Amino acid sequence: MLFRQLFDQTSSTYTYLIASDKGREAVIIDPVLENVNRYMKLLEELELKLIKVIDTHIHADHISGMAELRDKTNCITIMGDATPADVVSMTVADNENIKIDGITLKAIHTPGHTSESFSYIMKDRIFSGDTLLIRGSGRTDFQNGNPLDAYESIFGRLLTLPDHTLLYPGHDYKGDTVSTIGEEKKFNPRLQVKSAQEYADIMNNLKLPDPKMMDIAIPGNLSLGINYDRQKSASGLKSDQFKQAMEDLEAIIIDLRELSEVQKEGKITNSIQISFEKISTYLKENKQLLQNKKMLLYCAVGHRSTLAVQMSSSYGYKYVHHLIGGIKNWKKDGHSLDIKNHP
């Protein structure tokens, strides 16, 4: 496995780059905007293709590099399904797996630092975001944070992992890089409590100053995402137009979401599921058969389908359209999904 822990000096943020090996597909966790060029250079040096980027939560101390990486690499952006951010092309639920080329990350909802915080388990390690730090824990006094929720996330979820589990946090302010669950049980001063209320009393009396970039970072990280003008220009159709186009019985309707997303939410009637990672191969292999047919594409929020339309155009397809805003707008506009007949 290829694993890199990268540090941002200004915000004391750890970013993680993971791939199964050199020359393979990669995922990045918690990127910082100012370091995007550094990540891009490393990806090039290691001959990696960035497939997915994950933010553990809405950050208050830096602007996420998620959107910039998306625009540079066409990667899929991911957060937990409790997020209010519009930046993500895909959300994951508690206990849902994220998979790329030989790597599996299990998402677990760990609210407390913020209400939408998620942590991610990968084999012998956990990426805990700001929920659990080395000899500390994330503050709970803003962004709908709650010390009682944090207690449950830490004691009820994270500390139930095997003691040898490696802990990779989202920040460190003392120069530490990694710990274990067993070490934190023994030596983390905030965990030496006998009750949730005792933990809450500690957290409620920290009296920490607000992060310096809080007023910029939070609104910025909430609105990094969906470019509807770009979606519209890429042969985009509003939901009513998309539904009307579906009346063409020869039209091929393709759901670009991953199978786990389809199973969770359902799909548009008569659509077939071909994930975004596989659509390029599908378009190339079926060009002779499909090139002159009408194709209607959709995904969760329209990002993946925009890219797929642009991809199809480069392959010579002429009649490909996509759903602006994806399933999110489809449901918002009152249209139903088929929740029974999906794979």
Axis-axis angle for helices 276-285, 303-314 (nearest 10): 20
Residues 200 and 251 in one domain: no
Residues 166 and 304 in one domain: no
Please give the residue range of the domain that contains residue 278: 228-332
DSSP assigned state of 222 = H
Residue at which a domain ends, from 222, 243, 258? 222
Residues 118 and 246 in one domain: no
- For 130-167, the three-class secondary structure string (H helix, E strand, C coil) is CCEECCEECCCCCCCCCHHHHHHHHHHCHHHCCCCCEE
Q: Is the pTM of the predicted complex or chain greater than 0.95?
A: no
Residues 195 and 256 in one domain: no
Residues 216 and 283 in one domain: no
Give the CATH number of the domain where residue 15 resides. 3.60.15.10
- pLDDT string in tens for the chain (343-residue length): 999 999 999 999 999 999 988 889 999 999 999 999 999 999 999 999 999 999 999 877 777 889 889 889 989 999 999 988 766 889 999 999 999 988 999 999 999 999 999 999 999 999 999 999 999 999 999 878 999 999 999 999 999 999 999 999 999 999 999 999 999 999 999 999 999 999 999 999 998 887 766 666 666 666 665 666 777 787 999 999 999 999 998 999 999 999 999 999 999 999 999 999 899 999 999 999 998 899 999 999 998 999 899 889 999 999 999 999 999 999 999 999 998 655 5
Residues 73 and 152 in one domain: yes
Select from 46, 38, 44, 102 the least CA-distant residue to 65. 38
CB-side neighbour CA atoms (13 Å) of 130? 27
How many other CB atoms sit within 10 Å of the CB of residue 335? 16
- Count of structural domains within the chain: 2
Read off the amino acid at residue 267: K
> 3-state class of 36 per DSSP?
helix
Range 331-334, long-range pairs (CB < 8 A, 24+ positions): 333/238, 333/239, 333/240
